[in-house]
Amino acid sequence: MRKTRAFFIGGVPIGGGAPVTVQSMTNTDTRDAQATLSQVRRLAAAGCDIVRLSVYDEACLDALPAIVDGSPVPLVADIHYRADLAVGAIERGVAKVRINPGNIGGERNVRLVADCARAHGVPIRIGVNSGSVEKDILAREGGVTARGMVQSALAHARLLERAGFGDIVLSLKASSVRLTVEAYQLAARETDYPLHLGVTEAGLPGAGHIKSAVGIGALLLQGIGDTVRVSLTGDPEPEAAAAIDILRAVGLRTEYVNVVSCPTCGRTSIDVRAIAQRVQTELSDLRVPLTVAVMGCVVNGPGEAREADIGLAGGGLSAGEGYDVGAIFEKGKPPQKVQGDLAALLIERARALAKERSASV
């Protein structure tokens, strides 16, 4: 695991081996405090640990106190070009700001923001996207490169460091998955700043999920990354679910029910998809590490799912009786034949097993 600087975003730890956090960003008009706060609360309920919002004028600053006071999670102010907005957002209670120090008006303004952030215990994220690399770096590199993106980020970071400020997070996002991964790998080797991961402009849900999972997942599997945002066009709430799914897939979040199911084949004798969907939905409230398998037949089902804690293998429709039959198996126990509402039977047994595990902790 990569060792980084450690600090807090509000009450949420970042870096230093702390759990990887999930972020998203509101797309409401920040000047509308109630609409923005409502979306912040929905994002928190969806699984966000931190939420970012745009602060682009004085009316946004006026709305911030009500949003901050009502938010269940720390808020990040996204600032461009104006140091006074960064200072104003910090003074109104945001837990972090996202700026590029090189474009807020010179070292005097950088020091102004750094001094205010230090006084309030507020970290700063330097966000470099492939489209925001400076012209001199592009000319030197012959275009956008991973090295150029890191050079841009470090140039901004040096401005803050010269102002005596070191609670810095870096992000180096591109819409290209390969370029994103290369930039973060280089930053991980050359710096000890915590890294905010994401593939920017990943696109619509579907293709955007895949690009984000490949890029973010590849980095997390290398021990790179301290906080993540999945960027999807449209409603931001699915971003939280996608980020959590990525963290679960790479083994960084385990307090949940992991439903595994077979892809089905000609031997499939039950409605695997319907049963698996019902099991996933009805067990989603559990916060216990538990792997539940749904397999289509008794030929390979138990063997293929032997790593599951509990599972179901379909046995088909009982001749003349009109109900499904199958076998439920638990790790370390012989399979038991079951019949009737197989999904309900599996859910009942899984809940009992989860209760046993919770009681033994």
Say whether pLDDT at 320 is over 60. Answer: no
359 to 52, 293, 345, 355: CA distances (angstroms) = 38, 23, 21, 6
Q: What's the pLDDT at 322?
A: 55
Q: What's the pLDDT at 316?
A: 67
pLDDT tens digits, 241-266:
999 999 999 999 988 899 999 888 88
Q: What's the pLDDT at 335?
A: 83
What does the pLDDT average to over 176-186? 96
pTM, entire model: 0.89
Per mean pLDDT, which range of 65-74, 167-176, 236-245, 323-332 is the poorest?
323-332
What does the pLDDT average to over 193-210? 90
Q: What's the pLDDT at 317?
A: 62
Per mean pLDDT, which range of 37-46, 126-135, 157-166, 187-196 is the poorest?
126-135
What does the pLDDT average to over 190-219? 93
Per mean pLDDT, which range of 70-79, 119-128, 268-277, 302-311 is the poorest?
302-311
Annotate 40-64 with b (16+ C-beta within 10 A) or e (fewer). Answer: bbbbbebbbbbbbbbbbeeebbebb
Which parts of 92-145 fold into alpha helices (H)?
Answer: 106-120, 135-141
Q: What's the pLDDT at 327?
A: 87
Say whether pLDDT at 238 is over 90. Answer: yes
Q: How many angstroms separate the CA atoms of 152 and 224, rounded?
A: 20
Percent of the chain exceeding pLDDT 90 equals: 71
Candidates 75, 51, 194; CA nearest to 126 is 194
Query: pLDDT band at 326, cuts 50/70/90?
Result: confident
Q: What's the pLDDT at 60?
A: 97
